């Protein structure tokens, strides 16, 4: 009998990457996958969530649906991030319990860890202190998934667990100028700068402005790499405790390096400058993937600059087809 797997948020960055990987390198005949987006149901509404599950009748769930956004969108809308995500997460896990779903893998983020902490952070430290002020709403809502998972396990013996990826990027990201994360935001702004037809300034004299100092450090995971690890988690990882899915610590890069990598992928000939009046957010949030490496010691992550080039190429192709999400 085929296992029916439902992916919420299935049309977004990670969901579309999982769909691609499932249909190419990770296809199995005993699995039927369903990828659903926000158009299929309002997950902040309990009855709508129940109707979605009644339609697909999943045995397993990867829960990716969330209200998400970059640093500045979070800073302006912390209450909305808290309320919307709490509703979504509570409804999903409750309905998974009601429908006797065998396993749920929910997606957290390394940005939910305490602001004041020691590095590298690991899975045991999620609840050890206050999150950064810039995204406290999103952070507390995501932390509560871990609390819910433990509650469902202790009270109902449910195998509900969570993955904790570092910063994700890749094809099908959200390139909205007001809600995007750092990499898609830079890609969108640099594309607009290069293709600005309102000025006669040669490209060599144009200035790509990066928000902040460029000094903060970040780990970034390519969406296709995360997709492979999320599928592995669903199939093989059988603990309620969260697991960090991140590149290795030595693969941490500065925001300046990110900007220069994107400029290289576009073959941009102008200058890069930094707007230090804009907030940097946390200076670093280095995560340890020691737990992941204990299970997957030989997993090969895509080289950052190669994955950036793939992402920019996808963006340019999608732009030409008017299929980009902005």
pLDDT for 6? 98
User: Catalytic pick from 56, 119, 138, 237?
Assistant: 138
pLDDT for 70? 63
Our measurement of the distance from residue 176's CA atom to the centroid of its chain's CA atoms, rounded to an integer in Å, reads 15
Name the token pair of 198.
Answer: 């309102």
Give buried/exposed letters for 243-261 (b at 16+ CB in 10 A, else e). bbbbbeeeebbebbebbbb
| Closest among 217, 215, 224, 118 to 170, alpha carbons compared | 224
pLDDT for 69? 67
pLDDT for 111? 85
- pTM to 2 decimal places: 0.92
pLDDT for 74? 63
pLDDT for 197? 87
Q: Helix, strand, coil shares of the chain as percentages rounded to 5?
A: 45, 15, 35
pLDDT for 134? 80
Residue 138 annotated to the active site: yes
What domains can you pick out in the chain, each with its CATH number? Answer: 3-170+219-249+286-303 (3.40.50.720)
Q: Per-residue confidence of the chain (326 residues) as pLDDT tens digits?
A: 799 999 999 999 999 999 999 999 999 999 999 999 989 999 999 999 999 999 999 999 999 999 776 666 667 778 988 999 999 999 999 999 999 999 999 999 988 999 889 999 999 999 999 998 888 999 999 999 999 999 999 999 999 999 999 999 999 998 887 667 889 999 999 999 999 989 899 999 999 999 999 999 999 999 999 999 999 999 999 999 999 999 999 999 999 999 999 999 999 999 999 999 998 877 888 999 999 999 999 999 999 999 999 999 999 999 888 766 55
């Amino acid at each position: 009998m085929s296992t029916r797997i439902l992916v919420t948020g299935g049309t977004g960055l990670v969901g579309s990457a999982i769909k691609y990987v499932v249909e190419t390198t990770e296809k199995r005949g005993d699995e039927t996958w369903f990828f659903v987006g926000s158009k299929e149901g309002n997950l902040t509404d309990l009855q709508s969530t129940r109707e979605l599950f009644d339609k697909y009748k999943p045995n397993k769930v990867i829960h990716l649906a969330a209200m998400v956004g970059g640093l500045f969108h979070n800073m302006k809308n912390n209450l909305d991030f808290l309320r919307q995500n709490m509703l979504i997460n509570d409804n999903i896990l409750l309905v998974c319990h009601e429908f006797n779903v065998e396993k749920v893998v929910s997606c957290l983020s390394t940005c939910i860890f305490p602001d004041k902490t020691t590095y590298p952070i690991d899975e045991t430290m999620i609840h050890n202190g206050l999150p950064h002020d810039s995204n406290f709403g999103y952070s507390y809502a995501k932390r509560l998934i871990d609390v819910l998972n433990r509650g469902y396990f202790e009270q109902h013996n449910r195998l509900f667990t969570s993955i904790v990826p570092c910063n994700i990027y890749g094809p099908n990201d959200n390139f909205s100028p007001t809600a995007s994360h750092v990499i898609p935001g830079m890609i969108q702004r640099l594309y607009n700068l290069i293709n600005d037809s309102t000025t006669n300034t040669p490209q060599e004299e144009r200035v790509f402005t990066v928000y902040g100092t460029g000094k903060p450090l970040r780990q970034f995971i390519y969406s296709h790499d995360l997709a492979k690890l999320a599928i592995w988690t669903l199939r093989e990882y059988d603990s309620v405790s969260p697991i960090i899915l991140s590149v290795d610590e030595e693969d941490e890069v500065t925001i300046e390096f990110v900007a220069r990598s994107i400029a290289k992928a576009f073959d941009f000939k102008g200058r890069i400058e930094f707007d230090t009046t804009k907030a940097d957010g946390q200076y670093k949030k280095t995560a340890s993937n020691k737990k992941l490496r204990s299970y997957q010691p030989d997993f090969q992550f895509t080289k950052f600059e190669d994955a950036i080039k793939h992402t920019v190429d996808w963006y340019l192709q999608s732009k030409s087809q008017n299929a980009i999400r902005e």
